[in-house]
Structure formats: structure tokens, C-alpha cells
Amino acid sequence: MITPFSMFDAFLSYLHFEKRFSLHTIEAYSSDLNQFCNFLEIESEKEILTVNPISIRSWVVEMVDNKMSNRSVNRKLATLRTYFKWLQKEGKIEASPLQKINGPKNEKRLPVFVREADMDEQKTTPLFTSDFDGQRDQLMFELFYQTGVRLSELIELKEKNIHSEHIKVLGKRNKERVIPISNKLFTQIEGFTKNKKQLNINTENLFVLSSGKKLYPQFVYRRINHYLSHATNLEKNSPHVLRHTFATHMLNRGSGLETLKDLLGHASLAATQVYTHNSFAQLTSIYSHAHPRGQKS
């Protein structure tokens, strides 16, 4: 008997090989689909193919009642939409049961970022040890802050894609982009790669564990969380906070939105515009201090 779970496996293979989704995204899709099946107690192919809008709305109500954020609910609905569109494409169903399903409105959240003063090198450098782990962690920290790369992009960064003036990263949907780097950062990268060779760690990926094994997302998250929690008073400390910090500081220093969009690897300008809220707060502060009539009495 074909179970919904064997169908999920075929769907997840489609996401991996045809859509080129990251492993992190595929794991999230798998979790969402399994949660949906568990809620409706679905155990067969026939049951998944006969899901109706009422069943989906009941799942949404259940998630909202359990205090799940609107953003998380909408992400899970997006998983279902993609799955049922795939079933349509495969000729398994005629129409998606999500056609008339609307998720709750997302809460407007401004990106959390670190103040420039807290990112001063004199404050951050003492956080790291001088051994291999400390050198690697400091370089990870600097690459997140100085280039705005995503966690998955940092983990997959290859030594061959590092050049004296830029790095090449493979972003979402396998889109390659070039990000400039400073001479100082390139020198730091060179020092780290030399240290790897001296320790007989020969890998194509720039960042690895001291054992030579590839990094994994939870490890990177824990390390960055550790250092940021010592550098800031923010409640949230993650690699993505450093990406937000890169974007906000770039805008505060005069970067245009189009340039920032390309550097971040956003598909549309709308995703980048969220940072203008933080930047506007900075501009307001500068105006109130700099313009003769902008000063508050």
C-alpha cells in the first residue's frame, strides 16, 4: 500500500533534485507535512488525496489556538500549497484544496540588529581564543557581519570560491552571487586556511570542525549565539542577526537598496525594504542633531 509518507518522500526528492531547495528547507517541509498528517490522523494515499478545505481550516484553527505565530502558520500553509500543487502536477488531484484558504496576517517585525558600537573590533576580538576553534569562530563571525551571507551559504562556502577581492556564494535556488571583501578579511581567511593545512585539515569547504568534518547548522548557530550574547544585550542572538546587522549598517552608511538587494541575494526589492525602517530611525537621529532647525529644544 502507498502511504502518504512514501508520497512525501517522492515530493521531497522533487524539492531536492528539481527545485534545488536546501536541506534545511526540505527538513522543514517534511516536518510540516508530518504534523499535518498527524493532526488529521492520515494513514493512506486515499486520505491525503481527499483532504478538503474544511480539514485544512481546522488545522489552522488548532495552530492559532496553540499560540503559534501567524508567520509560522503561514509557512506551514505554504508547505501544503507547494505539496498539493505538486500532486496536481503529477495528476493525482484535479484541484488544490488550498485555493480559497487564506492564512492569518503576518505580524510586522523589524529585523533585530546589533549597534555599531557593539560591533567594534576592540569589543569583539577578545571574545575569541587563538587556537583553531577560536580562529574559525572569529572568521565565521566576521564573514556573517561583513558579507551578510546566510548560514547555509557560509557552511557551503568553498576555498576555491574565495578571491582576494570577493567571495562567490551559492544562494537560494542555486543562484550564484559575488560579494566584495576587504583586504583585511582576505588576509584573515588566508591565515585560517594556512592553519588548516598545518593541522593537515584538507577540505574543499572553508569552515570545518577541528576533526575535519563538515559544519552543521546547529553548531554554527550555537557558536554565534555564544559570542553575540557576550557582545550585546539582545534577547535574540543568531547568525541571521549578524545578516540583519550587515544590512542595517550598510544602509546607515549610504548603501542603496538595489545594491543591498544584490549583496543579500534577495529575489525582490520588497524583501530588502524591511531594513529601511531601521535605517530611517538612524537618519532621524542624525537629522535631529545635524540640522539647525531639526534640533529638539
| CATH code for the part of the protein at 116-289 | 1.10.443.10
From CA 150, how far away is CA 244, in angstroms rounded? 10
CA distances from 274 to 45, 79, 244 (A): 41, 24, 10
Neighbours of 37 (CB within 10 A): 18
14 CB-contact burial (10 Å; exposed 0-12 / middle 13-18 / buried 19+) = middle
- Least Cα distance to 193 among 159, 146, 156 occurs for 159
Which residues are part of the catalytic machinery? 150, 172, 240, 243, 266, 275
Residues 6+ apart with CB under 8 A from 127: 138, 227, 230, 231
User: What residues contact 31, with CB distance under 8 A and at least 6 apart?
Assistant: none
Residue with cell 492569518: 104
Residue linked to cell 553548531: 219
Rounded Cα distance between 147 and 171, Å, is: 13
Q: Which residues pair with 169 in a beta bridge?
A: 177
Higher per-residue pLDDT: 169 or 22: 169
User: What's the predicted TM-score (pTM) here?
Assistant: 0.67
pLDDT at 244 over 70: yes
Note the pLDDT of residue 297.
Answer: 47
Q: What are the backbone angles phi and psi of residue 284, rounded to the nearest 5°?
A: -60, -40
Phi-psi region of 89 (alpha: psi -120 to 50; beta: other; left: phi over 0): alpha
How many whole angstroms separate alpha carbon 114 and alpha carbon 234? Answer: 8
The SS3 assignment for 88 reads: helix
| pLDDT on residue 133 | 97
For the chain, first and last CA: distance in Å?
Answer: 77
What are the pLDDT digits (tens) for 110-142? 789 999 999 999 999 999 999 999 999 999 999
One of 1.10.472.50, 3.40.50.2000, 1.10.3720.10, 1.10.150.130 is the CATH number of 4-89, namely 1.10.150.130
pLDDT band (50, 70, 90) for residue 221: very high
Largest CA distance in the chain: 77
- Give the DSSP per-residue string, 108-159: --PPP---GGGG-HHHHGGGS-SSHHHHHHHHHHHHHHHH---HHHHHT-BG
* Contact (Cβ atoms closer than 8 angstroms) between residue 152 and residue 167: no
Query: Does the pLDDT of residue 259 top 70, yes or no?
Result: yes
At 174, is the pLDDT very low, low, confident or very high (cuts 50, 70, 90)?
Answer: confident
Show me where the domains of the chain are located: 4-89, 116-289
Mean pLDDT over each residue of the chain, to the nearest integer: 90
Q: Do domains 4-89 and 116-289 have the same CATH topology?
A: no
